[in-house]
Amino acid sequence: MTKGRIFSGMQPSGKFHLGNYMGALENWVKLQHEYECFFSIVDWHALTSSYEDTSKIPERIHEMALDWLSAGLDPEKNVIFVQSHVKEHAELHLLLSMMTPLSWLERVPTYKDKLQQLGTQGKDINTYGFLGYPELMTADIILYKADTIPVGEDQLPHLELSREIVRRFNNLYQPIFPEPKPSLSKSAILPGIDGRKMSKSYGNEIPFAASPDELRARIRLMITDPNRVKRTDLGNPDVCTVYTFHKIFNAEHSSEISQSCRQATIGCVDCKKCLAEKMVSNLADIHIRRQELEKNPGRVKEILVFGSERARTVAAKTMDEVRQAMNL
């Protein structure tokens, strides 16, 4: 049986955090053993919501490559590349934009939501590129004839639109492209240190790049049961963010922790220390790989050049077929 082919991308928007890792990257690391994977740092996509200041783009691309490689993505096994290094994405995006009715783009729910949200911030974001985001995403996917797309629930409408665009292309010209199917990843939302969803817009994140000491410092700031003031007060783990983290990162001891909290045989300080040491140990391999890579930025650059070359070979072949099908 031939392996399915995956395409997935992430915007290099900076400050990659543990929630981002748990939400997608951790899953990619598993998928790399089961599929042929194309993983792209989608820098053009990042421009759709933030185009004014582009000075940090190179640094953010480098950081994201470090995040991916330290997480354990294998640059030999997977094609790891930067979107803007493969210009075929732009050509296919243009051609798809010619055949996609505007109404299809305008009805995407995230478009309307985001427009409203950003409108209130006084940002002029209603650009052509912002509306056309799903068009570029479709080009990303089908350039590699990917058939399996790992997505969260919120991205399903985008992928449905991609499938419509693919059907239209295949009907109008030649049936070149497989319809990309979603592979729904049911990862839980990781809370931040204040208990709300971990998000860079809340400032409650634990950076994925955190060193052991930074990790410990962030955990010390975590919100616990607000009614447990004194060390002798009985705690309620159900309202404690530290306990939520124990359930995720220290599952085998979480019932013990829960009991000790309720009986006040462990205090919040020690409970945090215990969590911190467990997380430091869980993330040790990732930390070691990052340190190695940070010593060798040239190696990271090489990996991206190598990946872009491999991506371009596949993309160029697809574009030959597309041009032929469209008589261009």
* Binding stretches for ligand ADP (CB under 6 A): 13, 19-20, 22-24, 152, 187, 189-190, 197-201
Residue 327 DSSP SS3? coil
CB-nearer residue toward ligand ADP: 198 or 311: 198
- Mark the binding-site residues for L-tryptophan, compressed into ranges: 140
Sign of CA dihedral 264, 269, 270, 273: positive
CB-nearer residue toward ligand ADP: 184 or 189: 189
Residue 139's φ and ψ, nearest 5 degrees, are -60, -45
65/191 Cα distance (integer angstroms): 24
| Two tokens, residue 137 | 């995403």
- Give Cα 99 to chain centroid, integer Å: 29
241/177 Cα distance (integer angstroms): 46
CB-nearer residue toward ligand ADP: 95 or 219: 219
Min separation Cβ 13 and ligand ADP, Å:
6
CB-nearer residue toward ligand ADP: 42 or 322: 42
8 strand-pairing partners:
39
Min separation Cβ 24 and ligand ADP, Å:
5
- Mark the binding-site residues for ATP, compressed into ranges: 11-13, 19-20, 152-154, 190, 197-201
Min separation Cβ 141 and ligand ADP, Å:
16
CB-nearer residue toward ligand ADP: 64 or 268: 64
CB-nearer residue toward ligand ADP: 19 or 235: 19
Min separation Cβ 258 and ligand ADP, Å:
22
Min separation Cβ 240 and ligand ADP, Å:
17
33/15 Cα distance (integer angstroms): 27
Is-contact 215 280, C-beta < 8 A? yes
Is-contact 325 174, C-beta < 8 A? yes
Min separation Cβ 319 and ligand ADP, Å:
28
- Mark the binding-site residues, compressed into ranges: 11-13, 19-20, 140, 152-154, 190, 197-201
9/156 Cα distance (integer angstroms): 15
9/65 Cα distance (integer angstroms): 12
| Closest to 85 measured CA to CA, from 132, 143, 35 | 143
